[in-house]
Copies of this chain bind each other. A is one copy, B any other.
Amino acid sequence: MAEQKKMVNDITAMYEDFAKWYTDVVKKAELAEYTSVKGCMVIRPYGYAIWENIQKIMDSMFKATGHENVCMPMFIPESLLEKEKDHVEGFAPEVAWVTHGGSEKLEERLCVRPTSETLFCEHYKQIIHSYRDLPKLYNQWVSVVRWEKTTRPFLRTREFLWQEGHTIHATAEEAKAETVKMLNVYADFCENVLAMPVVKGVKTEKERFAGAEDTYTIEALMHDGKALQSGTSHYFGDGFAKAFEIQYMDKDNTLKTPYQTSWGTTTRLIGAIIMTHGDDNGLVLPPKIAPVQVVVIPIAQHKEGVLDKAQELCDRLSKICRVKSDVSENSPGWKFAEYEMKGVPLRVEIGPKDIEKNQCVIVRRDNREKYFVSLDELEAKIPELLEEVHKGLYNKALERRSNMTYTAKTLDELKDIADNKPGFIKAMWCGDRACEDKLKEYAGVTSRCIPFEQEHIGDTCVCCGKPADKMLYWGKAY
């Protein structure tokens, strides 16, 4: 293990002020910048490049599971939003309303979509007539607007980028299977692309999406012990279809009502990456989504042959990874700190002595381990190390989550953990909304999910003591 000296001095230390550390990383790593509209941010090139990599990989996973991209309008007429009762109740309080086009007052107000179920339903009604028209497996990459009171870059913004999948099926079974399938795609993505372990489960009724019969979720644990809901997948039953009068003629010549799902992930995932892998030196990026996977830094670059060699390595590596070289006149120390702060997974150093020995020095961002690698083995070693960085990040996050997950059997125990030990709390629950409300009020925790992987940790509700057969994850959350 190499030395752990602190190289970036203008980022607040995590333990001093986690929220400030987060904002420092967002700004210093040039991921995003504020604008004059509260809660709306500029996503800068480095931040947007991360989002592009997320999009590219996730989009290919959606297409591999048979989904097609579409694009719905951003405006929803008020009367359309109101068609499904639970849905409008959930969203109307937080939508932005367009009332004028130019100088003319609109006959009907339009909201900027907070989510697009109602638009998809309107469209389904136009295009679905027969069983032959089912299923439709759609997705769109757009931005949506929710007029939040408290906002933070990536984690909670009034406008955010996301993908929203919307599907419609002939049967409830098929729609339910889709809901779970897409949750698994999300979990797969978080673990195998973002190196971020997640708990898969179903939300309680209280935490469900407005209009859904069931909401599935993946929950990740951040560095500070707070949970981050990282993706959700909703099963709607036939509620929306009935409200919008969508029907299809089945093979048996009877009219039937189809079943729907929707599922979404957002630019919040960038916040999750920062708070899962980041450290006091700044960002640490999982290799698969890092805009720059390898940075080549020449040492003593004024010496003959160094810059040429750095360029040669960069050219070679560009064939197998996203690489850049920094040949600016800044000192190597400055460059080391800069690319550490930006979370570049691997640094390749090349100087006169290395050239003499036909080697280079490779340093991992995640644990600062240093390798002397023969230049002949570069193409073999780099992908191997990128894979190891990925695994290292995943294991470190998994271990932290494991260390920060507690079990509570009584209300006092739960309250004590909630007050003193940031993290997940596993506890039994009777299924009663009153107990859920009480845990929130008394201990400040909300139910994160009823995990698919249940454990037997008791038979009575942590709150009321009545019989309970569900083990839940509880916690404080972003």
Contact = CB atoms under 8 A, between A and B. Distances in A.
Interface of A: 33, 35-37, 40-45, 48-49, 51-52, 68-77, 80, 92-103, 110, 112, 119, 122-123, 126-127, 138, 142-143, 145, 147, 158-159, 161
Nearest to A36: B77
A420 to B, nearest CB: 36
Copies per complex of this chain = 2
A45 B75 contact: no
Given A92-B102, A96-B101, A74 B145 contact: yes
A102 to B, nearest CB: 5
A77 B37 CA distance: 7
Contacts of A77: 36-37
A238 B48 CA distance: 27
A95 B102 CA distance: 5
Contacts of A101: 94-97, 147, 158
Contact of A119 (B35, B52, B92): B35
A70 B93 contact: no
Given A35-B119, A36-B80, A112-B112, A41 B73 contact: yes
Contacts of A161: 71
A94 B102 CA distance: 4
A379 to B, nearest CB: 24
Nearest to A106: B96
A103 B112 contact: no
A159 B96 contact: no
A64 to B, nearest CB: 14
A114 to B, nearest CB: 10
Contact of A71 (B48, B73, B92, B138): B48
A73 B40 contact: yes
Given A35-B119, A40-B73, 17 more contacts: A35-B72, A36-B77, A37-B75, A40-B74, A42-B119, A43-B70, A49-B68, A52-B69, A74-B143, A74-B159, A96-B98, A96-B100, A97-B100, A97-B101, A99-B100, A101-B147, A112-B112
Contacts of A112: 74, 98, 112
Given A73-B41, A93-B103, A126 B33 contact: yes
A35 B334 CA distance: 55
A138 B45 contact: yes
Nearest to A92: B102
A102 B158 CA distance: 12
A70 B50 CA distance: 11
Contacts of A103: 93
Contact of A127 (B33, B70, B99): B33
Nearest to A69: B48
Given A123-B35, A138-B45, A147 B70 contact: no
A44 B73 contact: no
Contacts of A45: 68-70, 138
B102 A159 contact: no
B73 A123 contact: no
21 contacts: A35-B73, A35-B119, A40-B73, A40-B74, A42-B73, A43-B70, A43-B71, A48-B71, A49-B68, A49-B69, A51-B71, A74-B143, A74-B145, A95-B101, A96-B98, A97-B100, A97-B101, A98-B98, A98-B99, A101-B147, A142-B143
A72 B74 CA distance: 16
Contacts of A102: 92-95, 147
A100 B37 CA distance: 14
A73 B97 CA distance: 16
Contacts of A40: 73-75
A-B residue pairs, 10 tightest by C-beta? A40-B73, A101-B147, A45-B68, A97-B100, A43-B71, A99-B99, A93-B102, A96-B98, A102-B147, A37-B75
